[in-house]
Amino acid sequence: MSQRRLPPAWLAWAAFAAILAPSPSVATTPSQPVQSPAEIAAARGQDALDHGKDLDAERAYDEALKLTPGVADYLGARGAARRRLGEFDAAIQDLTQAITADPTKVDYRIERGLTFEKTGDRAKARADFDAAIALDPKNDTAFYDRGLLSQVENDDTKAIADFNQALEISPKDADTLTARGGSLDNLKHYDEALADYEAALKIDPRSYNALRDRASLYIDKQDWSVAGLYFDAALIIYPNDGPLHSERGFVWRKLGDDAHARSEYDRAVSLAPNDVDILFDRAGMEVDQTRLDAAIADFLRVEKLNPDEDGVYRALGDAYAQNKDDQRALEQYELGLKRTPDDTGLLVARGLLHWRANQYDQAIADYDHSLVIDPKDGPALYDRALALDAQDHDERAIRDLDAALTLAPDDEASMEERGEIYLKLEDFMRAVGDLTAALKLDPNDALAHRKRAEALRSLGDDAGAAVDDAAATKLTAKS
């Protein structure tokens, strides 16, 4: 936050001492006013703010406000320090008092808007940014911060409009150019986004965000080789940046180089051991490589570092389930559902565990819950059909599979399952129709060949059945 710059504390004391202890041969005429103790404390607080020492700044402004209560500048500066310290309620209280004391000060509005955004109250954040712009239509910071808020709200068109306003006021601001590039990238205007990143880097060749976002643009374009080159360029300037190494690891994965990917993720974790995003990314790679114990260890670290990371419960549960530890998987899904009881992914995952344990009523209850929330959830429809089939509720299972196939006509699993139910119901013509359609989608499905052979044999087509039996035997031998 921009504040009135005060002299450093040592200069203030020096001036004060010079006045109190004049030279014997010189008249004692003060050359500048003596600062009060409150002003001296405030100067110390401003210096701490300028150097990122937010706790020292808060304490200094505490002192200043005890000596001179209600000074708007002191309240505003302490509010800024408290926002940076994560003391959001206290920051809002300070900034609201500062605004009441001086309603015309734009900085207080911007600072409180940023604080509201941190608390998740985006409506109040926007109201403060709007008020700041109304007070000073030439304040590029207010436009920039409102644009960033629109980005968070996934309204990139609105964000770009604000970034354009900010750039009219300050056309050579690298941060605003980079932010506008991000919104253009989100809208898939890749050439314009790249132009903004390049312009930002001409202004500030070390701009971290521009370097990183330029590389990420090529991830969005799925141009992995170019993305890798740009991440390498960023890493020359920021060799000890964990997130950059993590994203470089992601690109190596996409290029099929697991050894380099692993090396980059390990380097990222060593540089930023408490970064949950990096741990999550490395765990994802470990799952893909079926290094499940290592993945579970990383997910557990994420869970310990940030229990509010809702996605970790599903990811950890899935890793346990893949590792055939259904009890621990169930525990993780339960923890996640306590936090977000309507999470359809967790409900379907728990339902699958119940199905694997032959607890079909419980499985169906989870799928029912999920489908109330999202009636067009194809995987939930398919999984519920499996549970209904296991209980011989065949007509209900077929209805679910009909709905799943309406949503995804090329879903081979749903087509095959419906064919198998028709076979069980001795509706052999429909069984052959569905199993044939499934085999067109996946000709190497041995089970579908075997089931179609049964249906064909029941229809008297022994030759066709023999062909399918032979195909199934050959595929089974290969596997």
What local confidence, expressed as pLDDT, does residue 309 receive? Answer: 87
Token pair recorded at residue 227: 């993305």
In one-letter notation, the amino acid at residue 442 is: D
What local confidence, expressed as pLDDT, does residue 32 receive? Answer: 62
Burial (CB count within 10 angstroms: exposed 0-12, middle 13-18, buried 19+), residue 451: buried
What local confidence, expressed as pLDDT, does residue 35 receive? Answer: 85
Nearest to 215 by CA among 199, 200, 202, 197: 197
Distance CA 253, CA 358 (A): 37
Q: Could you give all domains of the chain from N- to C-terminal order, each with its CATH number?
A: 1-136 (1.25.40.10), 274-341 (1.25.40.10)
Nearest to 95 by CA among 342, 110, 85: 110
Tens place of pLDDT per residue across the chain (479 aa): 333 223 333 223 223 333 333 434 444 455 567 889 999 999 999 999 999 999 999 999 999 999 999 999 999 999 999 999 999 999 999 999 999 999 999 999 999 999 999 999 999 999 999 999 999 999 999 999 999 999 999 999 999 999 999 999 999 999 999 999 999 999 999 999 999 999 999 999 999 999 999 999 999 999 999 999 999 999 999 999 999 999 999 999 999 999 999 999 999 999 999 999 999 999 999 999 999 999 999 999 999 999 988 899 999 999 999 999 999 999 999 999 999 999 999 999 999 999 999 999 999 999 999 999 999 999 999 999 999 999 999 999 999 999 999 999 999 999 999 999 999 999 999 999 999 999 999 999 999 999 999 999 999 999 999 999 999 999 999 87
Nearest to 75 by CA among 101, 95, 52: 95
What local confidence, expressed as pLDDT, does residue 318 receive? Answer: 96
What local confidence, expressed as pLDDT, does residue 34 receive? Answer: 80
Q: 226-256 burial by CB neighbour count: b if 16+ within 10 A, else e?
A: ebbebbeebbeeeeebbbbbbbbbbbbbeee
Token pair recorded at residue 339: 């936090």
Distance CA 427, CA 458 (A): 10
- For 18, 43, 121, 129, 355, the CA distances from 75, given in Å and listed in that order, are 31, 13, 21, 19, 59
In this structure, what is the dihedral angle of CA atoms 306, 309, 310, 312, given to the nearest 10 degrees?
Answer: -80
